């Protein structure tokens, strides 16, 4: 690789090797990660974990009851934390995209579409995080295979 190509590659890569161009993009991406981590961990996960009446009602209507509510709450809290850990951020964002597809489906089929736009809106920044931090998933797989 030529010195120019090496310099160009380094200019488009963050310290963790993530291909995000420009300071503003990196700041925006990190800000979204923090905001989504707080949303999923605190605003969405904690009410399920403390059995807030609205969460209990929703999961009872689904027929999932307390086990489903606590499972989803724990996954949201842990996923929110994982969004803040560079090595896990892409994997967490990808998992949340799947969770949001499920949430959209449940919202439309069980709750008549009320608030169905919320999971769809959240998919876009989550997909961006998953894509922008995808090299971290590769690094995680390499570590798990013992190649770090």
Give the position of tokens 């951020």: 89
Binned at pLDDT 50, 70 and 90, residue 19 comes out as low
Q: How far is residue 91's CA from residue 100's CA, in Å, rounded to a whole number?
A: 14
Binned at pLDDT 50, 70 and 90, residue 10 comes out as very low
Contact by Cβ (8 Å): 69, 51? yes
Q: In this model, does residue 135 exceed pLDDT 50?
A: yes
Q: Which whole-number Å values give the CA distances from 5 to 8, 10, 11, 71, in the listed order?
A: 5, 9, 10, 47
pTM of the entire structure? 0.81
Percentage, residues of the chain above pLDDT 70: 85
Q: How far is residue 30's CA from residue 79's CA, in Å, rounded to a whole number?
A: 15
Question: What's the chain's Rg over C-alpha atoms?
Answer: 18
């Amino acid at each position: 690789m030529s010195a120019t190509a090496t310099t160009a590659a380094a200019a488009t890569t963050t310290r963790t090797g993530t291909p995000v161009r420009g300071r503003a993009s990196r700041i925006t991406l990190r800000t979204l990660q923090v905001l989504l981590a707080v949303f999923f961990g605190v605003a969405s996960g904690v009410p399920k974990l403390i059995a807030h009446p609205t969460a209990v009602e929703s999961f009872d209507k689904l027929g999932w009851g307390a086990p489903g509510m606590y499972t989803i709450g724990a996954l949201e809290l842990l996923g929110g934390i994982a969004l803040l850990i560079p090595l896990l951020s892409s994997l967490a964002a990808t998992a949340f995209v799947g969770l949001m597809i499920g949430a959209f489906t449940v919202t439309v089929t069980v709750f008549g579409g009320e608030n169905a736009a919320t999971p769809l809106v959240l998919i876009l920044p989550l997909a961006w995080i998953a894509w922008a931090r995808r090299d971290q998933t590769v690094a995680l797989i390499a570590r798990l295979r013992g190649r770090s």
